[in-house]
Structure 1
Amino acid sequence: MRILPIGPNDEIAVLNGTAVFVEKHSGEVLPVAPELGAVRVSLAEIEALGQARAPRDVRDRDVAACVSLLRNRELVRFDPFDGSELSYHEPGVAYGASGRPHFPRLDPAVIGIVELRGEDRLLLGMNAARQTRFSLIAGYVSHGESLEEAFEREVFEEAARRVSEISYVASQPWPVSGSLMLGMRGVTEDELPQGETDGELSQTIWASPLEIIDNKIPLAPPGSIAHDMIHAWARSKQQ
């Protein structure tokens, strides 16, 4: 997980587990809830937090929100209605010359379990750009798609498997990319690929519950929704 800094000495502060603000190295303070006390957290600490675990408790969630809002503030600088420069007066909400509120963008992404029908085997893929561990099939939801349609499309694009009986499992914020990860699950009868893939994955494998529980496969790190879903699936098969 990478933190997008806005200066060499910038810090992100967490406000008593309920709100956050960013203080620039210039001394300018951009408050979210200035009436609350603050506890300073360095960018290095936040980066370590993001790598170690997902935002689970209140304090972590505020850090996640802060990172996401900071990213949005840095990337979205002009009013889409008239092209004027945006000014941020509220947490994440900006205004330009048009006077219309511009809310921070949140991109939904699907990620999930693909189980081989009739067998205790789970489909895992290794990203071609980061060939260090296996994870679940994932991708962004396109305009006009339902979550189920997006998951079905992503599984076929990345792994060339046809998936059905798709259902929702759980969700997790992923602040640095401004995403909301939506956990899904489905089944396939396709042990082998049924066509060409988009090349996003360098390889796919079928994993057994025992291989997962015994840590025989390098997997997504603890705290990620992928890690939680993979291990929950493996444990359910051992009961």
Structure 2
Amino acid sequence: MAAFLPFSILAIAFYLAGASWVWLRLAGKVPEKSLLVRILGLSALTTHAIALYGQLGLADGLTLGLLEVASLLSWLICAFILLASLRHPTLNLASLLFPLAALFLLLGQFAEGSQSLAPGKDGLLFHVLASLSAYSLFALASVQALLLALQNRQLKHHHLKGLIAVLPPLQTMERLLFDLLLAGQILLTLGILSGFVFLDSMFSGGNGHKTFFSIAAWLTFGTLLIGHWRLGWRGNTAVRWTLGGSLLLLIAYFGSRLVLKFITG
């Protein structure tokens, strides 16, 4: 872990530099330089990825404590936001997400960790990483849905200052939401299918609850995506379905842990 500390420090510095520029631009203190923010963000993601290699213990298997997972998810979310900025004006979100990623990376340096996957289990590693990637995108989609609902409400009441002035246009916010949902659905599909292939049983012990609620979430998001493409679902309908599916995933992840804890005493 100590060998990767310089990369953690660099990543934190890049994250904070990128977020600071966005904050200053929003305050009207500096000009908009999207390329600079992307370069800082890409530098942060690169050094964060190297630091994650040490935090997750990938050389010896996989370490998945709470702080390691938080650091990984924050990396995935920032990577998506940076990639999405090539199509949508999402760099304003870096003002909040970059410092959050820096915080989780910092806290990850103090994580004790718990070895949960031995080396040589590439299939299980793929299942875990696909599932966590899906969770991170759907978590971001939930935040996006809440912002969309707030934006809708402010527009209806003709509030054109404050948060509404910082967010991208409403149509852009909706397109970004469905991009997040589609990417998350693909990863969740891979996570569920790989679980059936590489896990001994998807329905034994706490896995049964996790599998049930994960499939329920998959059906919920799938219905929303089909409803959007075929029936034009959007606005508050999309918000409700997104939050409902994300709640099912939340129950799948934390509920299964509670069940396992109860079973094992």
Do the structures match in fold with TM over 0.5? no
Q: TM-score, normalised by structure 2?
A: 0.30
- The structure richer in helix per residue is 2
Q: TM-score, normalised by structure 1?
A: 0.32
